[in-house]
Amino acid sequence: MELHVSSLVLRMVTEEEIAEVARMWEWEKGPVSIDDARKAIKWMHDNHEKNKQGHIHHLCFAVFETESNKIIGWCGLDGQCCPGQTVIFYSIENAHQGKGYATQCASKLLEYAFESLGMDSIHGGCYKDNIASCRVMEKIGMKRNPDEEDGDPSFYINKDIYFDGGKICKN
């Protein structure tokens, strides 16, 4: 499965991209061996199989630039980290930040969640100092929750908001 947006492709990684996965997992979590990258790919695929219409267990896409086979980030939806909520996540490699890629990925994820998976709501959050991540959630039509934990903002969007004009960022 692939999702296309502007100059990016969001898709599950394959065993052929194991070196790229090891490189990017290193960026995320410290040095990773090829064996650990193989385990990460299996974990992602196993989680993907648990996703059902209207329910996300965990969906993780690598973010690829269309002109290369280089992973520049990760994005997806997680239904395990916050009980009763599906949470959006995105992370773009430092060298590729500031180009609107996180906003494009997040917008495409909302489209997929509401229009293909039939989700009722999506949630998100970030550290209060992560102004760029806050702006991404605002740009894609998410609403800020009035309750913040330790000053860290949280956001939500439901299908009514999404279909009534929440789709602010067009792909």
pLDDT of residue 125: 93
CA atoms of 121 and 34, how far apart (whole Å): 36
Per-residue model confidence as pLDDT tens digits over 60-119: 999 999 888 799 999 999 998 888 899 999 999 999 999 999 999 999 999 999 999 999
pLDDT of residue 166: 54
Per-residue model confidence as pLDDT tens digits over 101-113: 999 999 999 999 9
pLDDT of residue 149: 65
CA atoms of 116 and 53, how far apart (whole Å): 8
Amino acid at 48: H
Quick one: pLDDT band at residue 28, thresholds 50, 70, 90?
A: low
CA atoms of 109 and 76, how far apart (whole Å): 7
Q: Would you state the CATH architecture of domain 2-166?
A: 3-Layer(aba) Sandwich (3.40)
Length in residues, the chain = 171
Contact 106, 138 (CB under 8 A): no
Q: Say if residue 168's pLDDT is above 90.
A: no
Report the 10 Å Cβ neighbour count for 105.
Answer: 29
